[in-house]
Structure 1
Amino acid sequence: MTRESPPARKPPTSNQPSAKPSGPKPPKRVTAQYLENAALYYLQRFASSSANLRRVLMRKVDRSAQAHGTDPAEGARWVEDLIARYQRSGLLNDAAYAEMRAASLHRRGTSTRAIREKLASKGIARDEADKALDALDEEVDGDLNLTAALALARRRRLGPYRLPEKRAEFRDKDLAALGRAGFAYDIARRVVDAEDPDSVE
Structure 2
Amino acid sequence: MPKPLDETRLKDLALAYVARFATTGAKLEAYLARKLRERGSVEGEPVPDVRRIVERMIELRYVDDEVYAKAKAGSLLRKGYGGRRVEQALREAGVDEDLREEMRPAESSARQAAYALASRRRFGPFATELPERDKREKQIAAMIRAGHGFDTARQIIEAETVEAVEQWVEEAEDEYE
Q: TM-score range by the shorter chain?
A: 0.7 to 0.9
* Unmatched tracts of structure 2, length 5 or more: 170-177
- What is the one-letter code of the residue matched to 2:132? A
Residue 23 (structure 2) aligned to one of 48, 71, 78? 48
| 1:125, distance to aligned residue in structure 2 (A) | 0.8
Which residue of the partner structure matches residue 193 of structure 1? Answer: 158
Question: TM-score, with normalisation over the residues of structure 1?
Answer: 0.73
Render the CA deviation track for 1:19-65: whole Å, top value 9, x for unaligned. Answer: xxxxxxx3442122222222222212211000001111111000013
> Sequence identity, in percent?
30
Separation of aligned partners in 1, 2:3 and 2:127: 51
Separation of aligned partners in 2, 1:114 and 1:148: 11
Separation of aligned partners in 2, 1:155 and 1:28: 48
Which residue of the partner structure matches residue 68 of structure 2? Answer: 97
Which residue of the partner structure matches residue 58 of structure 1? Answer: 33
| 1:154, distance to aligned residue in structure 2 (A) | 2.3
Aligned residues: 165
- What is the one-letter code of the residue matched to 2:15? L
- The question of 1:113 aligning with 2:84 is answered yes
- What is the one-letter code of the residue matched to 2:157? V
Which residue of the partner structure matches residue 173 of structure 2? Answer: none
Structure number, greater radius of gyration: 1
Separation of aligned partners in 1, 2:31 and 2:22: 13
Higher relative contact order (CA 8 A, sep 6+): 2
| 1:124, distance to aligned residue in structure 2 (A) | 0.6
- What is the one-letter code of the residue matched to 1:156? R
Asked if 2 retains the 8 angstrom alpha-carbon contact of 1:49 and 1:122, the reply is yes
Asked if 2 retains the 8 angstrom alpha-carbon contact of 1:49 and 1:97, the reply is yes
| 1:70, distance to aligned residue in structure 2 (A) | 5.4
Which residue of the partner structure matches residue 175 of structure 1? Answer: 140
Asked if 2 retains the 8 angstrom alpha-carbon contact of 1:29 and 1:64, the reply is yes
| 1:198, distance to aligned residue in structure 2 (A) | 2.1
Separation of aligned partners in 2, 1:158 and 1:50: 38
| 1:88, distance to aligned residue in structure 2 (A) | 1.3
Asked if 1 retains the 8 angstrom alpha-carbon contact of 2:6 and 2:47, the reply is no
Asked if 2 retains the 8 angstrom alpha-carbon contact of 1:30 and 1:70, the reply is no
* Unmatched tracts of structure 1, length 5 or more: 1-25
Render the CA deviation track for 1:95-153: whole Å, top value 9, x for unaligned. Answer: 221112111111111211221111111111110111233xx53xxxx523222211222
For the aligned residue pairs, the C-alpha RMSD in angstroms reads 2.3
| 1:173, distance to aligned residue in structure 2 (A) | 1.4
Listed as ranges, the matches of 1:1-201 within 5 Å are 26-65=1-40, 74-75=47-48, 77=49, 79-133=50-104, 137=106, 143-164=108-129, 167-168=131-132, 170-194=135-159, 195-196=161-162, 197-201=165-169
Question: TM-score, with normalisation over the residues of structure 2?
Answer: 0.81
